[in-house]
Amino acid sequence: MKIYIDGKFYSKDEANISVFDHGLLYGDGIFEGIRVYNGKVFRLKEHIDRLYSSAQAIALNIGMTRDEMMNAVEYSVKVNEKQNAYIRLVVTRGSGDLGISPYLCKKATVIIIVGDISLYPEENYAEGIAIMTSSIRRISPDQFDTRIKSLNYLNNILAKIEAVQAGCLEAVMLASDGYVAECTADNIFTVKKGVVYTPHSYGSNLEGITRGAVMDAAKNLAIECRETKLSQYDLYTADEVFITGTGAEIMPVTKIDGRIIGEGTVGPVTVLLRKEFRNIAGIAG
């Protein structure tokens, strides 16, 4: 593995950043998780656009143009000779000192890691998974807009801990108003009477790249897809539920908080959307 740090490549054992980097000290930074399918980076422009939007929102000067960043990502994939991979692109405020002021950091740190992805077992896609509702609420947009994909993930991590302790792979997180926001690392969709629904991106959930690809898949299949408010009731009474994310792609959900969803099997709309998503992504099989 060859890891890109500020324009140079290092082995895994040699890849280091300063202990005074504000990404480490304060979580002051942003990131993207990106997939590579058959040697092609999936929706790279959309990921880079979101990265730079996050940077703009937190007043972070990345120090590279978008084209330079895209070239760096693609070159990192080439150097690592990966056909199918997961990319973690991280930009921190950079090295400063122990003070919290971002102005103590003179230059951002850019890190690109190209590695293997640990996928869900295939039986999860065939049978669906069980998820639960976390007691941890998603951060309210009047405090912090979670459309910024920042390094501050403790909110999600605490909800993930609850999920694991409950024997689930994922947890639904509610917004401060009690409506569904997203899962700890995935967006969530429901299907009711053939119509697909997903929560609005209104500041309490991330505008997922895979989420967008699934909405495109629905359009390609002439399946109506609406952004709306969803409650726990909507989840429990849905015909189908699935979650989407860079790692999960499209994962069926067949049980929520002990309640069987629909017929308790992977639904037909989910099957169609997953097939079309894989066509969009260029995934064989």
Specify the pLDDT at position 131.
98
275 labelled catalytic: no
In the chain, DSSP finds a helix count (H) and a strand count (E) of 8, 15
pLDDT tens, residue by residue, 200-209: 977 678 889 9
- Per CATH, 2-115 and 122-281 having the same topology is answered no
Catalytic residue among 2, 78, 82, 149: 149
Specify the pLDDT at position 52.
98
Specify the pLDDT at position 206.
87
Q: Where are the domains of the chain?
A: 2-115, 122-281
Q: Which CATH class is domain 2-115?
A: alpha beta
Q: Which CATH class is domain 122-281?
A: alpha beta
Mean pLDDT, range 111-127, rounded to an integer: 91
Q: Is the pTM of this model over 0.75?
A: yes
- Residues 279, 273 contacting (CB under 8 angstroms): no
Point out the least confidently predicted range of 27-41, 189-203, 233-247. Answer: 189-203
Specify the pLDDT at position 88.
97
**Phi and psi at residue 109, to the nearest 5°:** -105, 130
pLDDT tens, residue by residue, 68-117: 999 999 999 999 999 999 999 999 999 999 999 999 999 999 999 999 98
Specify the pLDDT at position 202.
76
